[in-house]
Amino acid sequence: MILADKIIYLRKKCGWSQEELAEKMNVSRQSISKWEGAQSVPDLDKILKLCQVFGVSTDYLLKEEIEEPELKEDKYEPLNVKHISAEYANEFMDAKRKSALKVAIGSSICVLSPITLILMSGLEEFGHVAGNVAAAVGLAVLLCMVIVAVVLFIFNGSMMSDYEWLQKEKFVLDYGVSGIIENRKKKQHPMLTLTRAIGVGLCILGAAVLTVTAVLTGEALATIIAVDVLLVLVAMAVFLFVRWGNEADAYEQLLQTGDYDPDHKKNYEKHELIGGIYWCSVTAIYLAISFITNRWDYTWIIWPVTGVAYGVIACILNYAEKKA
């Protein structure tokens, strides 16, 4: 059986029209017609893609003496599954790298936002600054920094909106694309490991500075300054975690591993809803407590606590889904 006859045979066995096969192959219907009419022969890339689409070996397609393929129904791809080309994958990874920088800066700004308020509250307590001035300056700086962070997040969301479907839908990588992704992932891995280690070190250093200052000096103002130092170090750590973690996240999305495996994607909308409700509730609680107590220098602790709590909740949900 020649190649043309095998393409016809496999296409009909899958129940596809020439148009449907052309769509999966990213070619015109006329190209499929010419292949099936033996008027032209697909190039090597198209042969490999035909093998991928039909779930057969290259030996079967290219060797006329092999008449019957070992077909498995689970190797056929649904018609609505999208294909990711090398060009699209590289475009997404580059966009994710640029996006990671904006998200990292925005996240760090959020961590740093209460620094002025904490410092001004300390100065007010010791009579160095008038109460109204301290509160006004501290809140103004906090709100300005939060606004800058929100603008960065919104701009980033707009820039990455075209790629949101990768988190929700199943797709198939074209031949050779997984190798490109794995290669970039391998090159980035040492930097990811290094930045994680530095980030953890910065967090430990910040905690150590605060502890030593509180124990050795016992002075309230020195402790307040140590809290600000802690926030600066944590902000630096967050920048490293988010900057390189988000870039690594692109590889997981394309390879559909970890949180992006096909089974996990089924629950994406549910997780998105839970996350939205959770963080909106946290924001409302934070603002309510802060305005009622007027202790903005202390209520910021709500954010790291609820951040850790959300991580625990996400782990519990993932575990429950795997058991279900």
pLDDT of 323 reads 59
Q: Is the pLDDT of residue 198 over 90?
A: yes
Q: Are 99 and 69 within one domain?
A: no
Q: Are 142 and 227 within one domain?
A: yes
Confidence of residue 83 (pLDDT cuts 50, 70, 90): confident
Q: Are 51 and 100 within one domain?
A: no
Q: Are 44 and 105 within one domain?
A: no
Residue 124 structural domain: 89-167+194-243
Share of the chain above pLDDT 70, in %: 82
Q: Is the pLDDT of residue 217 over 90?
A: no
Q: What is the pLDDT of residues 164-173, one digit of tens each?
A: 888 877 788 8
Mean pLDDT of 6-21: 85
Q: Are 94 and 213 within one domain?
A: yes
In a domain, 62, yes or no: yes
Q: Are 48 and 151 within one domain?
A: no
Mean pLDDT of 197-214: 90
Confidence of residue 75 (pLDDT cuts 50, 70, 90): very low
Q: Is the pLDDT of residue 74 over 90?
A: no
Could you say which of 53, 75, 97 is where a domain stops? 75
Q: Is the pLDDT of residue 200 over 50?
A: yes
Cα–Cα distance for residue pair 143/121, rounded to 1 Å: 16
- Strand (E) positions, 233-289? none
Could you say which of 208, 243, 278 is where a domain stops? 243
Single-letter amino acid code for the residue at 233: L
Q: Are 135 and 31 within one domain?
A: no
- Using alpha carbons only, give the angle 245, 251, 256 rounded to the nearest 5 degrees: 120
Q: Is the pLDDT of residue 285 over 60?
A: yes
> Which range has the top average pLDDT, 67-81, 84-98, 248-262?
84-98
Share of the chain above pLDDT 90, in %: 19
In a domain, 82, yes or no: no
Block residue for tokens 């960065």:
152
CATH code for the domain in which residue 31 is found = 1.10.260.40
Q: Is the pLDDT of residue 231 over 50?
A: yes
Single-letter amino acid code for the residue at 90: N
Mean pLDDT of 295-319: 70
Q: Is the pLDDT of residue 37 over 80?
A: yes
Crossing angle between the packed helical segments 86-112 and 220-255, to the nearest 10 degrees: 170
pLDDT of 52 reads 79
Q: Are 163 and 228 within one domain?
A: yes
Mean pLDDT for all residues in the chain: 81
Question: Considering its fold, how many domains does the chain have in total?
Answer: 2
Q: Are 51 and 128 within one domain?
A: no
Structure tokens at 42: 């697909």
Residues 6+ apart with CB under 8 A from 7: 32, 35, 36, 50, 61
Rg of the chain over all Cα atoms, to the nearest angstrom = 28
pLDDT of 76 reads 45
CA dist 282 → 125, 273, 294, 306 (Å): 28, 14, 17, 7
Block residue for tokens 């909740």:
313
3-class SS letters over 44-82: HHHHHHHHHHHCCCHHHHHCCCCCCCCCCHHHCCCCCCE
Could you say which of 243, 266, 281 is where a domain stops? 243
In a domain, 111, yes or no: yes
In a domain, 178, yes or no: no
Mean pLDDT of 128-133: 70
Confidence of residue 65 (pLDDT cuts 50, 70, 90): confident
Q: What is the pLDDT of residues 147-196, one digit of tens each?
A: 999 899 899 888 888 888 888 777 888 767 888 899 899 999 999 999 99
Cα–Cα distance for residue pair 259/321, rounded to 1 Å: 12
